[in-house]
Structure 1
Amino acid sequence: MEPLFPAKWWEREGDAVRCLLCPRTCLIRDGKLGFCLVRKNVGGRLFSTNYGIVSVSTIDNIEKKPIFHFLPGSKLYSVGSFGCNLRCLYCQNYPLVEGGFEAAPCRCLQPVDLVSEAISRGADGIAWTFNEPIVWSEYVIETSRLARSEGLYCMLNTNGYVMDRPLGELLEVVDAIKVDIKGFSNRFYNEVCGGLLEPVLETCKAASDKGIHIEIAYPVVKGMNDSPVEIGRFCEWVRLNLGPDTPVHFIMVHSFHRLASHAEIRFEDLEKIRLYAVQTGLNYVYVGGTTKTLAQNTCCPGCGELLISRTGDADAERVYFKDQQVSRFCPTRSDVRVMLRGRSCPNCGRAISIRTKSDLKG
C-alpha cells in the first residue's frame, strides 16, 4: 500500500484537483498521478505519495553537488526519494524519476529519524538531491526546519522548476541552493527537458534576492546548448541578474539514457566554454562531470593565487539503486584544501565570495 500524506499547494477544479507546486499545474483526476508521479488525487484531495520515502542516502562532500563557495570541505548527508517534474533525455538518475517506491527496497523515515541519522553519521548538513526535491517539498520543508534547529545546514540540488508560493517556503528553510540551468532557450527546455526556461530563471533570482547562497550548473550537451550565442546569453544573464561573483559550473553531459548514442562534448571544448565565460566577466567558473581538469580549483580573480584546491577521486564510494549507480557522473572531491585568509586572498587581499559557518541562519 502506498503512503499518503496531505499535499500543499493545490485547489479543486470540477471533479479534479489542480496541483500548484510547479509550473506544470497538472490537472489530476481522481485516482491519477501528476506528471511527477508522486502527487495523487484520492477522493478529490491531493496527496504526496513519497513523504518520508528515502530511496538513496549517503555521506559525501558538499563539492560533489557541486557547491564550491559554501563551507568548503564540509560533509553532507545526501538523501533522495522518487519523482521529478522534468524529463531530461540525459538524466543520470532516471530510475529515481521514472520508477517508484514499489519498484525497489526503500525506507520510510520521519523527519526526526532522518535528522538523527545525519547527526549520528557526522554530517554538517543535509542535501536534498538525487531526484528532484521540489516534488518532495512537504517533507523537505519539515525536515529542514528540524535539521537547522539541531545545528545542521540544508541545501537544495534542484532544477528550479517551482511556483512562487512553495519556493518561498523552501527558501525559508535552506541555506544554499544549486540550480541547474539546463540550457538558455525554451526550444532546448521543451525538446530535451520537457519544460520552460523562464520559471527556472525566476527561481534563481528569488533565491539570490533573499540572500540564499546560490551556485549555477549548466549541463553542456554537445551541439544542442553549447553555441557561442547561447552560452554568451547565459553568462550575461548570470552576471546581470545574480552577480559576477556567482559560481558557475559547466558540466559535461555524458552519453546516457535517451542520449546514449549522442556524442559527448570534448573536454577541450568544455574548457574553451569556461574561458569564454571568464572573459564575459564571471569571476568563478568551473568545469564538472570529469576528474581530468584543474578547473575545479578556486583562484583569486584579481591576482590568480590558488585559494581552494580540490582533488577529484574517481574511486570514491559508489551509491546504487536497483543495481544502477546513482549520480555516476558527479566526481567526489576527496581532498579539499582552503588557503584563504579569512575571506580574503592571502596574496593581494581581495575579498573572495565565500560563505562560512558564521553566515548560517539560526
Structure 2
Amino acid sequence: MSSVVCPVCFHHCRLEEGKAGLCRARKNAGGRVVSLNYGRVTSAALDPIEKKPLARFYPGSMILSVGSFGCNLNCPFCQNYEIAGAGEDFPSESVTPRRLAELAEGLKTRGNIGLAYTYNEPLVGWEFVRDCAIEIRARGMKNVLVTNGTAEPEIQRELLPLIDAYNIDLKGFTEEWYKKLGGDLETVKRFIAAAAGAAHVELTTLIVPGENDGEDEMRELSSWVASVDRKIPLHVTRFFPRRLMTGKPPTPKETLFRLAEIAREKLETVIVGNV
C-alpha cells in the first residue's frame, strides 16, 4: 500500500499503511485517511458557558461539553494532556451524533443551550464535529468550538456554516513560540480571521513567564486582533505549572494585569482569567 498525506492540518503528515499521524487521531487505512476518534467520547460535562471561556455569548447559560482524544500540537504546559496526548487505546465511550444531540436536548431544563467541542483538539476529528453540529442545529441549539485554530481552510469551510461561537487559542504572537509548541502562527491567524467573519469569536492567550509575556508582543497581538475586529474579546489567562513545565512558577498576577491594560489600548473587551 502507498502512503497518503493527511489534509486536515498544516503538518500534512505522510502516513504509511496502518500508521497514525502526529495527532494520534487519524491514520492510513487502505489508502484513505480515516478518523480514529469518531464517536469516541473521553470526557463530558455540563459546564457554565463562561468556562469555555466565552464571556459575551449567552452569559449565564450552560453547555454540554464533550471531548475525545488527540491533538496536533505538543504544548509543554497542556492541562488536558492525558487525553490530548492519547491515541486509540485510550478508554472512551462510543456515542452517535444523534444520541449526543438527544442528550444535549434533554439538558435544556438545566439551562443547556447546545454542545461544545473541547478538552482535546476537536478538529483532528472534525467529521464528528460536523455530524454532531448538524444534529444540534436541527434541534435549534448552539454549537461551540474550542480549538487551537490549526485546521486547514478546506476543513474550516466545512464547519463555518454550523458553528455559532468559537474560543480560539492564540498562544502568542511569535513564530518562535509557536514552533516550540509544534504550531504555526500564520495558520492560526488565518483561521481566526475566517471564523470572525462567520460567527461569534473570543480568543484566549495563556501567558507563560519568560516565553510570551513581553509587552511588545502583546502590543503586536492586540493590534492584529483589532485589525480583524476590535470587538473580539481577548482572555488573558494565568499559567500554572503543568506537564513538562512543573519547574516554572505561575504567572505573576501583576504581569497579567499589565498585559491586559496594554491589550485594552486596542481592544474593547479584555478579560483577565485564572487569578
**Structure 1 length as normaliser, TM-score?**
0.74
Structure 2 equivalent of residue 288 of structure 1: 273
Q: 1:181 aligns with which of 170, 189, 195?
A: 170
Runs of 5+ consecutive residues of structure 2 not aligned to the other structure: none
Structure 2 equivalent of residue 208 of structure 1: 196
Please provide the CA RMSD for this pair.
1.1
Structure 2 equivalent of residue 79 of structure 1: 66
Q: Distance in 1 between matches of 2:18 and 2:159?
A: 28
Q: Distance in 2 between matches of 1:40 and 1:84?
A: 13
Structure 2 equivalent of residue 117 of structure 1: 103
Matched AA of 1:285: V
Q: Deviations over 1:237-264 (max 9, x none)?
A: 01112x2211000011111101111122
Q: Does 1:128 align with 2:117?
A: yes
Q: Distance in 2 between matches of 1:100 and 1:74?
A: 32
Q: Distance in 2 between matches of 1:90 and 1:41?
A: 29
Matched AA of 1:202: R
Q: Distance in 2 between matches of 1:267 and 1:190?
A: 26
Structure 2 equivalent of residue 108 of structure 1: 94
Q: 1:217 aligns with which of 189, 198, 204?
A: 204
SS in 2 for 1:87: coil
Structure 2 equivalent of residue 45 of structure 1: 32
Q: Distance in 1 between matches of 2:22 and 2:16?
A: 12
Report the alpha carbon displacement of residue 137 of structure 1 after superposing the two structures with TM: 0.4
Structure 2 equivalent of residue 36 of structure 1: 23
Q: Distance in 2 between matches of 1:152 and 1:127?
A: 11
**Does the 8 A contact of 1:154 with 1:174 survive in 2?**
yes
**Does the 8 A contact of 1:217 with 1:249 survive in 2?**
yes
Report the alpha carbon displacement of residue 209 of structure 1 after superposing the two structures with TM: 2.1
Structure 1 equivalent of residue 48 of structure 2: 61
Report the alpha carbon displacement of residue 214 of structure 1 after superposing the two structures with TM: 0.4
Runs of 5+ consecutive residues of structure 1 not aligned to the other structure: 1-13, 291-362
**Does the 8 A contact of 1:16 with 1:29 survive in 2?**
yes
Q: Deviations over 1:22-62 (max 9, x none)?
A: 11111100010011101011221211110000000010111
Correspondence 1:192-203 to 2 at 5 A: 193-203=181-191
Pair member with larger Rg? 1
Q: 2:12 aligns with which of 21, 25, 37?
A: 25
User: Percent of pairs identical after alignment?
Assistant: 36
**Does the 8 A contact of 1:22 with 1:162 survive in 2?**
yes
Q: Distance in 1 between matches of 2:84 and 2:57?
A: 28
**Does the 8 A contact of 1:133 with 1:157 survive in 2?**
yes
Greater displacement, 42-51 / 60-69: 42-51
Greater displacement, 177-186 / 39-48: 39-48
Q: Deviations over 1:306-347 (max 9, x none)?
A: xxxxxxxxxxxxxxxxxxxxxxxxxxxxxxxxxxxxxxxxxx
Q: Distance in 1 between matches of 2:15 and 2:69?
A: 19
Q: Does 1:162 align with 2:157?
A: no
Q: Deviations over 1:227-286 (max 9, x none)?
A: 111111001101112x221100001111110111112211122111111211x2211100
Q: Deviations over 1:121-170 (max 9, x none)?
A: 22211100000011120000011011111011001000000101110111
Q: Deviations over 1:53-83 (max 9, x none)?
A: 0000010111001101111111100000000
Q: Distance in 2 between matches of 1:15 and 1:43?
A: 9
SS in 2 for 1:116: helix
Report the alpha carbon displacement of residue 101 of structure 1 after superposing the two structures with TM: 4.5
Structure 2 equivalent of residue 89 of structure 1: 76
Matched AA of 2:191: T
**Does the 8 A contact of 1:53 with 1:101 survive in 2?**
no
Q: Distance in 2 between matches of 1:39 and 1:287?
A: 35
Equivalent residue pairs, number: 272
**Structure 2 length as normaliser, TM-score?**
0.96
Structure 2 equivalent of residue 9 of structure 1: none
SS in 1 for 2:244: helix
Matched AA of 1:24: H
Matched AA of 2:134: R
Structure 2 equivalent of residue 298 of structure 1: none
Q: Distance in 2 between matches of 1:91 and 1:170?
A: 25
Q: Distance in 1 between matches of 2:250 and 2:218?
A: 17
Q: Distance in 1 between matches of 2:65 and 2:231?
A: 26
